[in-house]
Chains A and B, each alone.
Chain A
Amino acid sequence: MSDNLVFRFDVQGNDFTSAGQASVQVKKNLRQLGLDADTIRRVSIAMYEGEINMVIHAGGGVAEVIVSEDYIEIILEDRGPGIKDIDQAMQAGYSTATETIRSLGFGAGMGLPNMKKNTDSMEITSTIDVGTRIVMRVML
């Protein structure tokens, strides 16, 4: 376990323009580690969707990516409003995003299902008015 690589990012919540910077950096780091393109893509998509969610719904948060021998783990933690009904949020097309977010190209209700699709496991824990924590793993 001591050999695990950990990348940690503070995701700013007030700036849509810079949203996704952490994901771009993670992709760069994973490329430098020489991982295969498909794995990098799956991790990148899952993380980027999650990062965008943190910015548009939760006012930012903390993203951590752990690279171990067997898997890559993405942990996204925010102190946002929480998700009322996780099953409903997981349904493709369900979204609480504003018109402004939609006009920017997001908020189609595809983020969470797409994160699940691109990872081997995904766990969401969320408490209203406390925040949300998502842990995703892509096996190597």
Chain B
Amino acid sequence: MKISKMQELLDADVLCCEENLGKHVYSAFGCDLMSDVLAYVTDQAVLLTGLVNPQVIRTALMMDMTCIIFVRTKKPNDEMIQLAKEHGIVMMSTAMTLYTACGTLYSNGLIGTKEVGK
């Protein structure tokens, strides 16, 4: 799914790297636990989270993720925006809750990272 399509579906504000809105993501992962992101995500995924600290961006970087969506209108600070900019990671903020944002993307065809423990 194109990042611009996610922005439209979630009515999200783009916080940085608008030039990369044309990029695609192939799966999604939603959680506040970065340990799980590091353990389970496959690349070119989007991260949806309600956690706001610089480790969210570094975690996304380690996992080659190209887009982070903050839910519940959470917004990163300038330092975090700068870090994301340096690495071309699109960051957006939506008023939706994590559940609703994930459900909206899923019902429009964006699958989750593969299931765990099967």
| Contact indicator B35/A107 (Cβ below 8 Å) | yes
| Contact indicator A110/B55 (Cβ below 8 Å) | no
Interface contact tally, CB-CB below 8 A: 68
CB of A20 within 8 Å of the partner chain = yes
Q: How large is the interface on B (under 10, 10 to 19, 20 to 34, 35 or more residues)?
A: 20 to 34
**A23-B58, A37-B64, A105-B32 are contacts. A45–B38 as well, Cβ < 8 Å?**
yes
**A105-B34, A108-B33, A111-B35 are contacts. A45–B62 as well, Cβ < 8 Å?**
yes
B contact patch SS: helix
Which residue of chain A has the shortest Cβ distance to B37 in the bound complex? A105
| Contact indicator A105/B56 (Cβ below 8 Å) | yes
CB of B61 within 8 Å of the partner chain = yes
Q: Mark B90-115, 1 if CB is under 8 A from A, else 0.
A: 00000000000000000000000000
Which residue of chain B has the shortest Cβ distance to A47 in the bound complex? B62
CB of B82 within 8 Å of the partner chain = no
Q: Mark A77-112, 1 if CB is under 8 A from B, else 0.
A: 000000000000000000000000000111111110
| Contact indicator A27/B61 (Cβ below 8 Å) | yes
**A20-B55, A52-B55 are contacts. A106–B35 as well, Cβ < 8 Å?**
yes
Contacting A at CB under 8 A, from B8-59, are 32-36, 38-39, 43, 51, 53-56, 58-59
Please indicate which of the listed interface residues A19, A20, A23 has the most CB atoms of chain B within 10 Å of its own CB.
A20
Q: Which residues of A contact B35 (CB under 8 A)?
A: 105-111, 114
- A16–B39 Cα distance when bound, in Å, is 20
Q: Distance in Å from the Cβ of B11 to the closest Cβ of chain A?
A: 26
A residues whose Cβ falls under 8 Å from a Cβ of B: 16-21, 23-24, 27, 37, 41, 44-45, 48-49, 52, 104-111, 113-114, 117
Task: Given contact pairs A17-B79, A37-B43, A111-B35, enumerate 20 new A-B contacts (beta carbons under 8 Å).
Answer: A17-B53, A20-B55, A20-B59, A21-B58, A23-B58, A23-B62, A44-B62, A45-B38, A45-B62, A48-B38, A48-B59, A104-B51, A105-B34, A106-B34, A108-B35, A110-B35, A110-B36, A110-B38, A113-B39, A114-B35
